[in-house]
Amino acid sequence: MKRREFLECAALLITGASASQLGWTLTGEQEVYLAGAADYIDQPLNYYTPEQRELLAALSETIIPRTDTPGAIDAGVPRFIELMVAEWLNDAERAAFDEGLFALQQRAQKDWDGDFLALDEDARLELLETLESEASGSDWYQLGNIRRDFISDAPFICQLKELTIWGFFTSEVGGTQVLRYEAMPMRFDGDTPLGPDESTWMPYLI
């Protein structure tokens, strides 16, 4: 058993032990030992239709495809996007996002002569690049927003990238198989060699 798995098991045991004890005064929403909780994306989905889910999967995989390492679908990004649209975006942002999905399909029909899902990889890429070039004046592309304050009125293509990239690199698959992750390093070494093809550590929140 890896150290991390051990810790997660320990967390579960502790949670189980404490839940019955008196003095537990947290509210229900807080009463979760997060390391032992279910993954965020494992919640049930109930927002999009099967067709919309297929579209989101294709879009997120176009942004971050499977290469010699896992891609967006492998990492559960479509699930993440659906949950975030349903739970995290406000009403106006949700409406704009869904409108963006709809408009993208219309654009595909009009300028690429077919449903996005029917397009080949090059055409899909071309469509997204067109949307990005039309959005390039947005503040979303400014440097410096490293805390990722959400830009509420950014164009659809930006919000799609925001949720796809965030969902991917914070997922277990993206964090451990594309980036590197070590929950319990046990030491700090400020000078280790970095190979030309190596990934960053999964950053913790700042």
Partner 1 sequence: MSDASTQFDAIVIGSGITGGWAAKELTERGLKVLVLERGRELRHGVDYLGEHAPDWKLPYNGKKPREFYAEQYPIQSKSYAFGEDTRHFFVNDKENPYQQAPGKPFEWVRGNVVGGRSLLWGRQTYRWSEQDFEANRVDGNGMPWPIGYKELAPWYSHVEDFIGVTGQAEGLPQLPDGEFLPPMDMFALEKTIKGRLASKAPELTMTMGRAAILTRDHKGRAACHYCGPCQRGCSTGSYFSSQSSTLPAAEATGNLTLVANAVVERLVYDEASGKLSAVEVIDSQTREKLRYSAKLFFLCASTLGTTQVLLNSPSGTFPNGLANRSGSVGRYLMDHLNVLSTTGIFFDDMDSYYYGNRPNNTYIPRFRNLPGEDEDTDFVRGYGYQALPLRGDWKMNFNAKGFGAGLKDRLRKPGPWLWALAGFGECLPQYTNRAYLHPTRVDRFGIPQLVMDFEWGPNELALWRDMDKQSARIMKAAGAVFTSAIAAEDVVGGSAIHEMGTARMGDDPNQAVLNAHNQAHDVPNLFVTDGACMTSSSCVNPSLTYMALTARACAYAVTQLAEGQI
Nearer to partner 1, 45 or 183 (CB): 183
By CB under 8 A, tell whether 181 contacts partner 1.
Answer: yes
Please say whether the beta carbons of 48 and 80 come within 8 A.
no
> C-beta of 6: minimal distance to partner 1 in Å?
11
Nearer to partner 1, 110 or 147 (CB): 147
Please say whether the beta carbons of 76 and 175 come within 8 A.
no
By CB under 8 A, tell whether 67 contacts partner 1.
Answer: yes
The site that binds partner 1 (CB under 8 A) totals a number of residues, namely 78
First to last CA, the chain: 30
By CB under 8 A, tell whether 202 contacts partner 1.
Answer: yes
> C-beta of 11: minimal distance to partner 1 in Å?
7
Please say whether the beta carbons of 108 and 127 come within 8 A.
yes
**Residue 171, amino acid:** S
By CB under 8 A, tell whether 205 contacts partner 1.
Answer: yes
By CB under 8 A, tell whether 33 contacts partner 1.
Answer: yes
Footprint on residues 86-145 left by partner 1 (CB under 8 A) = 87-88, 90, 125, 128-129, 132, 136, 140-145
Nearer to partner 1, 48 or 71 (CB): 71
Nearer to partner 1, 17 or 50 (CB): 17
Task: Give the interface segment with partner 1, choosing from 27-35, 48-56, 96-104, 105-113 (CB under 8 A).
Answer: 27-35
Q: Which two tokens stand for residue 33?
A: 């030992």
Spatial distance between the Cα atoms of 157 and 99, rounded to a whole number of angstroms? 11
- DSSP secondary structure string, 48-61? S-HHHHHHHHHHHH
Please say whether the beta carbons of 172 and 89 come within 8 A.
no
Q: What are phi and psi of 201, to 5 degrees?
A: -65, 150
